[in-house]
Chain A
């Protein structure tokens, strides 16, 4: 081991890398998660006609909820991965602060565009909707929304540049950090740990996604300001879904580093990279970029081979996740006599939820199913599964771990109630979505028919449970942070 790696290894034991910045980010993430969940609750209650919400406001809430949840999932995932990468490489704190500042600037622009400018064109800003509001919002509001995305994108670009260069500095190349020496059977005295393998993969695919996303955002901005410049709608949709799919997937792939780094504390068995693990993450790197075509299965003008690839990769992309992370988690937990506190429960739940969420996703990724299911509640059902029971659970698990202290104790009664309530709320909430999808209830409709109201009302009840437990998790984190700092 070189002097540098010894130094880094030593640091990883004794320091909490940039814990202050990460804790602040998690407070912000928790608060925004809670707020966005309240928006979701309002929308479900409005669909169930329990409250009255003007449809224009409904679409603004839908836009804020979508953009806010995707953004916050990415923000919390980024904070988690930064924290744990800091155990293996030395990261510049200033870059994280710049990332956070640009992110917050983006949030201000997005919220302003929605709640002041009235923008309600959904988080996907699909061409030509932002420019064709029918009088609901001005071009300036849509432009502010997109500038908010640009600001967030620049922040993430800085984040990945710093991460990429430090990984490169430590491991000599990104392919080594991706575990190619393990895959090729070459000798590597200091193989990359799982967190670094994950970070290298996410850095590559999300940087590509952000660069392409920036191009389509600026092209859409030009179209907003000079409507004569029309973007090719199909090209724009491809670019937007490449960027959007990669970005939201990256949030989970970043947050999963919490599982790799924290669970070994409970099982007593270190989580090490091996050949299969490296192959799985290299497969993820390819699949996450090749699978986005499953968002375009209803675009009949797409070349058929792309749609077929989209379907096939949808099947394959579940394999590295389920075969490696989920199966490994099961093996690590099995027979380890681990203590089940809030952290370990949420982290194990998150892996299970993520794996389960990929099943309805794969089903919707079939062309024949997608034809009838894509615009139904089935789709929010699948992504809420791997967000609520996956990424968000990982974030809450990480927050619980940050304030856990050095000793691991069994879950208190209150924590147990909160965990079970969250699990029941989230599982019930997504099941209602999936049932609604199977019953052909369309998604994104502000006003629902009488026959659909029962679904909406049951969904509302479950979402109340989620909001309550989320508030508990966030308040618990803030109070314990205050206590430990005080």
Chain B
């Protein structure tokens, strides 16, 4: 119930940003969209699925993720139809399937997804800061550059966030699971 409430709160916060996202691509792409995904994650937090569903659900999540990475779809998300698609697809087709499939993913695949996310944030940062044209028609070129820099900062932040537990996990003790751990986050 508490998680349901938090999911609702995240969705409400995302909806509350409805007008702010028109002005700022950072608020749109790096605040509102992640909030919608978070709402979906919280919605499915305590749910479990059978293992054979993990890969199809992950593919659904990645496909939706790729769809919303495209700048023209970010533009489209500001139209009435696009807005509805965004509000529905990000929590239900990205957040929920990602959360449901995550416990079944091996640590190497998780690590690969995280490393790939860092590289891709770097690439997005490059694209948005170096594009010779306005990639999103709805935003100013200066705002586009700000978003590019924000991608770089996010990559650095996430890199630290993911690396610190692996580096400093438990320096004095040792784990008993020699075949790897699901919780170490590698």
Q: Which residues of A contact B (CB under 8 A)?
A: 2-5, 7-8, 89-90, 92, 95, 154, 157-158, 161-162, 164-166, 168-176, 180-181, 186, 188, 190, 204, 207, 210-212, 214-215, 218-219, 222, 228-232
Contacts and interface: CB of A to CB of B under 8 A. Distances in A.
Determine the interface band of chain B, counting residues with CB < 8 A from chain A.
35 or more
Given A89-B178, A169-B177, A219 B123 contact: yes
Interface stretch (B42-50, B61-69, B124-132): B124-132
B132 A190 contact: no
Interface in B127-186: 127, 130-133, 159, 166-181, 184, 186
A215 B122 contact: yes
B16 interface: no
A166 B123 CA distance: 29
B115 interface: yes
B119 interface: yes
Contacts of B184: 165, 168-169
6 contacts: A4-B178, A92-B179, A165-B108, A172-B173, A207-B115, A218-B120
B169 A168 contact: yes
A468 B153 CA distance: 52
B118 interface: yes
A169 B172 CA distance: 13
Given A154-B112, A169-B180, A215-B123, 16 more contacts: A2-B174, A157-B115, A161-B111, A165-B180, A166-B179, A172-B169, A172-B173, A173-B167, A176-B170, A176-B174, A211-B122, A215-B126, A219-B127, A222-B123, A228-B132, A229-B132
Main secondary structure of the interface of A (DSSP, over half): helix
Given A169-B180, A172-B172, A219-B126, A164 B186 contact: yes
B34 interface: no
Nearest to B110: A161
B107 interface: yes
Contact of B111 (A164, A175, A230): A164
A234 B171 CA distance: 39
B119 A214 contact: yes
A218 B167 CA distance: 28
Contacts of B127: 219, 222, 229
A357 B85 CA distance: 60
Contacts of B169: 168, 172-174
A321 to B, nearest CB: 23
A229 B174 contact: no
A172 B171 contact: yes
The 6 closest A-B pairs by CB, nearest first: A215-B122, A172-B170, A173-B169, A161-B111, A214-B119, A165-B186
A161 B186 contact: yes
Contacts of B170: 172-173, 176
Contact of A181 (B172, B175, B176): B172
B172 A161 contact: no
Contacts of A212: 119, 122
Given A173-B166, A180-B171, A211-B119, A230 B130 contact: yes
A404 B109 CA distance: 38
B175 A172 contact: yes
A190 B178 CA distance: 15
A169 B181 contact: yes
Contacts of A166: 178-180
Nearest to B152: A215
Contacts of B171: 172-173, 175-176, 180-181
A218 B124 CA distance: 10
Q: Which of A164, A166, A168, A211 is most buried by chain B, counting CB atoms within 10 A of its CB?
A: A168
Nearest to B173: A172
A305 B30 CA distance: 34
Nearest to B184: A168
Contacts of A232: 130
A161 B171 CA distance: 19
A168 B170 CA distance: 9
Given A169-B180, A215-B122, A229 B130 contact: yes
B178 A90 contact: yes
A174 B166 contact: yes
B174 A231 contact: no
B130 A161 contact: no
Given A169-B184, A211-B118, A215-B123, A8 B178 contact: yes
A162 B109 CA distance: 10
Contacts of B176: 2-4
Contacts of B111: 161, 164-165
Contacts of B130: 219, 229-232
Contacts of A162: 108
A210 B122 CA distance: 12
Contacts of B131: 228-229
A5 to B, nearest CB: 7
A380 to B, nearest CB: 31
Contacts of A207: 115
B186 A168 contact: yes
B175 A95 contact: no
Nearest to A150: B119
Nearest to B123: A218
A25 to B, nearest CB: 19
A161 B107 contact: yes
B118 A168 contact: no
